[in-house]
Amino acid sequence: MGLDFVGQGAGQTDGNIITTTIDKVVNWGRKNSLWPMPFGTACCAIEMMATLASKFDLSRFGSEAIRFSPRQSDLLIVSGRISIKMMPVLKRIYDQMPDPKWVISMGACASCGGVFDTYTLIQGVDQFIPVDVYIPGCPPRPEDLIDAVLQVQQKITSGASPKGVEAVYE
């Protein structure tokens, strides 16, 4: 969690004193309230919907508030193949998201083009937007997407900057 309890333990200290740093508290909040922007263009999006629905229930990890506006979200889930006509749209949506923002490249097509090695398909969205977590699979299981969200949470907890921030400020 990143929070240190002072005293004999939580609940036993009269004043419940907690010492920490601002960064840790902020990251703790960010981690547990990731708002995903779904960019579903293919069958991976079906798995993403299953992940959000009741059986797999992504809200257990604090990520159930799906935003269909990039301006209100901080996690972009690219799930599906991206054509050369769609790439400018994806780029613009990424640019519209406020910092800090993280990107999950879900499935083989978004990560490397998958089986579609053709004239019209982007061979990996990481050529154009920074990607934090890749998910292999065609399509990946909902558990894989949950795992990717947990990996993003770990990155946030560790205090590491998102890939996009590194790209901008370094």
Partner 1 sequence: MSEENQVEEQPKPLVLEKLEANHADALLAQDESRGTIVVVIHKEQAYAVLEYLKTDPELAYTFLVDVTAVDNSQMESELMQFDYARFMVVYQLYSYQGQCRLRVKVPVHENDLSVASVTELWQGANWLERETYDMFGINFEGHPDLRRILMPDDFEGYPLRKDYPLRGRGERESFNFDKQNV
Binding site for partner 1 (CB under 8 A): 84-85, 87-89, 91-92, 117-123, 127-128
- Whole-angstrom distance, CA of residue 111 vs CA of residue 105: 6
CB of 129 to partner 1, least distance (A): 11
Q: Which is nearer to partner 1, 40 or 113 (CB)?
A: 113
Q: Which is nearer to partner 1, 21 or 120 (CB)?
A: 120
Closest among 119, 81, 134, 74 to 65, alpha carbons compared? 74
CB of 127 to partner 1, least distance (A): 7
- Whole-angstrom distance, CA of residue 134 vs CA of residue 55: 23
Q: Which is nearer to partner 1, 48 or 93 (CB)?
A: 93
Check if the beta carbon of residue 66 is closer than 8 Å to that of residue 120. no
- Whole-angstrom distance, CA of residue 134 vs CA of residue 104: 6
CB of 7 to partner 1, least distance (A): 55
CB of 162 to partner 1, least distance (A): 21
Instruction: Tell me the two tokens of residue 3.
Output: 């929070």
Quick check: bond before 142 cis, omega within 30? no
Q: Which is nearer to partner 1, 92 or 154 (CB)?
A: 92
- Whole-angstrom distance, CA of residue 149 vs CA of residue 7: 33
CB of 116 to partner 1, least distance (A): 10
Strand, helix or coil for residue 153: helix
Q: Which is nearer to partner 1, 55 or 85 (CB)?
A: 85
Strand, helix or coil for residue 79: strand
